[in-house]
Amino acid sequence: MAILANTYVSYTSKRNREEFSDAIYDTTPEETPLLTLIGRKSVESVHPEWSNDALRTPVATNQVVEGDEFTFSAIIPTTRLGNYCEIARSEWIISRTQEKTLKAGDRSELGRRRARAALELKTDMEISCLFNKASVAGASGTARVSGGLPSWLISNDSRGGSGTDGGFSVGTGLTVAAGNGTQRALSKAIMDAVILATFNSGGNPKVFMLSPYAKTVFSTLMQSANTPTLYAQVRGNEQATIYAGADTYRSDFGVIDVMPNRQMARHGATTARNGFLLDPEMLTLGVFDDVQEIKVAQTGDAQKRVLLVEFCLLMNNEKAHGIAADIFGMTAAS
């Protein structure tokens, strides 16, 4: 179609106002399931320590004769463990002019960046606790590192071929990162083996934390020949419902909530390859210095800000937890 000659159209006008929404849309996941799940407590040093103990194995031959002389067994001391607090931060600098300029959305660039930095720092803390990294005592010029969850778990683990345990070393006072094994698909057999081992170690796990892809694999376990299939009766003109997901696993040793963690997938296959069987009461976030904003001295025509936190993972007793390591956590092959 043609328009009449000399029609004044919007493409010609120099007076039309721009329309720029004040809303800023973001779908980046910001939740931190692990930090929400576990407790937190203040610690007063950058190297908090604690003790683990265990009862001896029960015996069926504890019978003595009447009038027998006492003999005394050697007392085994408790095991002393510890972790190191690491410092995490986020920095930004905003020019005076940009802060004063009229903007769409948040009027203050400093305020908007402060809120974003707080969310980023929180997700960094989540991944730091879940990542397979050894603890580091630190030194002048060397950052302290808090040992991540996989570096603690050795008692109740299922690993792919050639996978190796990490664990806490009494000799060095540090954790050792676990060695990756051959990746494999999550299965009911893997889950049940980890749950059984954890129960036998005295644990009472409540949560199985997985990457989103691994969570979908868990939901297919209901198709196993050893798992009852759930059906919902349809009455009258009701629409049928397809149950394709499962959020709870009633094991032989208690009910376990299966929880997807999107941050594990965001961080990538190195973290998503692990499924964590957890007792939230036996895991704590130790906070030496909570999140705080530091206003750095101004040296130019701009304002400097830093958000900073100092924290560590406190593994109350690793026998309370389990790990299904070396599973496919991103796709069926990664």
Indicate whether 72 belongs to any domain.
no
Quick check: is 270 in a domain? yes
Per-residue pLDDT of the chain (334 residues; tens, 9 = 90+): 789 898 888 888 898 888 788 777 888 999 999 999 999 999 999 999 999 999 999 999 999 999 999 999 999 999 999 999 999 999 999 999 999 999 888 889 999 999 999 999 999 999 999 999 999 999 999 999 999 999 999 999 999 999 999 999 999 999 999 999 999 999 999 999 999 999 999 999 999 999 999 999 999 986 666 666 666 677 777 887 777 788 999 999 999 999 999 999 999 999 999 999 999 999 999 999 999 999 999 999 999 999 999 999 999 999 999 999 999 999 999 9
* Whole-number Å distance between alpha carbons of 259 and 257: 6
How high is the pLDDT of residue 288?
A: 98
Number of separate domains in the chain: 1
Alpha helices by DSSP H, 83-176:
96-100, 109-130
Q: What is the pLDDT of residue 245?
A: 82
Instruction: Give the pLDDT of residue 265.
Output: 98
Looking at the domain assignment, is residue 69 inside a domain? no
- pLDDT given at position 226: 61
> CATH number of the domain that 117 lies in?
3.90.1690
Residue 283 domain-assigned? yes
What's the CA gap between 87 and 249, in Å, rounded?
A: 37
Provide the pLDDT for residue 84.
Answer: 98
Cα–Cα distance for residue pair 74/312, rounded to 1 Å: 34
Task: Examine residue 164 and state whether it is found in any structural domain, yes or no.
Answer: yes
How many CB atoms are located within 10 Å of the residue 243 CB? 11
- Where are the strands (E) in the chain, listed by range? 39-42, 49-52, 79-82, 86-95, 157-158, 167-169, 174-176, 207-210, 248-251, 254-260, 275-278, 283-296, 302-315, 322-324
Distance set, CA 147 to CA 6, 174, 176, 184, 239 (Å): 73, 8, 8, 25, 50
Picking from 194, 204, 212, 190, the residue whose alpha carbon sits closest to that of residue 283 is: 204
Q: Is 58 within a domain?
A: no
Task: List the one residue out of 48, 46, 44 whose CA is nearest residue 315.
Answer: 48
Is 206 within the bounds of a domain? yes
Please give the residue range of the domain that contains residue 228: 33-50+80-234+242-324
Do the domain assignments include residue 74? no
- pTM for the structure as a whole: 0.92
Number of other residues whose CB lies within 10 A of the CB of residue 288: 19
